Amino acid sequence: MLATILTLNLFLGALLAQDPAAAGLKSLESEKYAEAADLLEKAIAADPKDLGSQFNLALARTFLNQDPAAITAYRRTLALKPGLYEANLNLGMVLVRAKQPAEAVKPLQEAAAAKPKEARPQLYLAEALQASNAAPEAVEAAFRQTLALDPVSAPAHLGLGRALAKQGKWPEAIAAYQKAAVDPQFKDTLGELAQQLEAAGKKSEAIALYTTLDSPGARERAAMLQFDSGDLVAAIASLESAVKASPTPANRLALSSAYLRNKEPEKAQPLLEAALGQDPDNLELRMTYGRLNRDLRKFDAAAQQFYFVTKQDAKNVQAWRELSAMLISLKQDENALACFARLKELGDDAPAHDFFRALILDRNKQYQPALDAYRRFLSRSEGKFPDEEFKSRQRARIIEKELSKR
């Protein structure tokens, strides 16, 4: 019996060796795609009109992700048998994968026409239309036709939602996205919708959506919009939830900033200190922590934070401004003047800087430079700083009298 089986196997092997089409099909079924492609190429070379080998070659190239070769093979298949459903469907899918969606539309239209009661070709056609930037009305119609065949198709609901959003049909778009999100695979697409609503100026709708998402980033974004809407209480609640779920430096910074805006510095301080412990080189954190200390009148601690920022980012104008103000408060006059000189080098020569230079020079009895600074401030202030202008005129008169006595 064993000899008989052995003889039979040898016979089949010899037969397959003589028939590359059959051998290629067997390799394809065994998922040996590269081997199948080589055998099927030989079969086609021997018989260019071998429809089965041409289609099987296209399949092998598809599974090998050799899209250009697969596309060529599918087109040759269709040249041999125009309208073949499987070839049109697969050709369309591969063209979409190869980022040629406009080319995919025609074969997918033919596939959908061949099987008008099947949702699959209609879905691929709708997706190809959307990817090729077809008119949103045409895309909407294609997805609606898909849903008529398969009402629970999450990809179709998502595609429809995108087409509706593009037309500004927001209530319908929101409903379509929410139906898609019933499928866990598409749950994250609600974030995409929220971003579109935000971009369209639909802030209340975007906030409502962001707050339903189980994502610290979404809660943070909701909070930022709530800030813009003046709803600090809601913003803080969103950020507290975000920090609880994900206590990252970014979330802690956002919540601490909210507390500061809500005049709750005592709540902001531990958050900022924890965030700096996580990310000590974060300059935005340093700036916020410096401002907190400034507001708490801890000028030395604030100056240390602003100084750190200027050392790491020598062109940070805002840090130099904040540092100069702290140095003035600490009466470190020489260092404060150096800050103003640096700001001037950076192109920030505001009239207010002249006023502060004048004050520093004045209290150090450098009267002529102080008078020059007061005059320069008054020539540039244009009535925007009435209190400082009044003080400057008064001091300028006094200094002029003092200098005239010398």
Looking up tokens 């849903």, which residue turns up?
147
Q: What secondary structure letter does DSSP report for 91?
A: H
Determine contact, residues 197/216, Cβ cutoff 8 Å: no
pLDDT bin (cut points 50, 70, 90) of residue 258 is confident
Q: DSSP letter string over 238-301? A: HHHHHHHH---HHHHHHHHHHHHHTT-HHHHHHHHHHHHHH-TT-HHHHHHHHHHHHHTT-HHH
What span, in angstroms and rounded, lies between the C-alpha atoms of 20 and 13? 11
pLDDT bin (cut points 50, 70, 90) of residue 17 is low
Proportion of the chain above pLDDT 90, given as a percent:
72
The region of weakest confidence among 61-65, 311-315, 401-405 is: 401-405
**pLDDT tens digits for range 357-371:** 999 999 999 999 989
Phi, psi of 282 (to 5 degrees): -80, 110
Q: How many CB atoms lie within 10 A of CB 168?
A: 11
What would you report as the CA-atom Rg of the chain, rounded to the nearest whole angstrom? Answer: 36
pLDDT at residue 198 above 60?
yes
Which domains does the chain carry?
188-280 (1.25.40.10)
Q: DSSP letter string over 117-177? A: T-HHHHHHHHHHHHHTT--HHHHHHHHHHHHHH-TT-HHHHHHHHHHHHHTT-HHHHHHHH
Cut 0.75: pTM above it = no
**pLDDT tens digits for range 51-60:** 999 999 999 9
Model pLDDT, residue 12: 43
Mean pLDDT, the chain, whole residue set: 90
The average pLDDT across 308-329 equals 95
**pLDDT tens digits for range 132-157:** 999 999 999 999 999 999 999 999 99
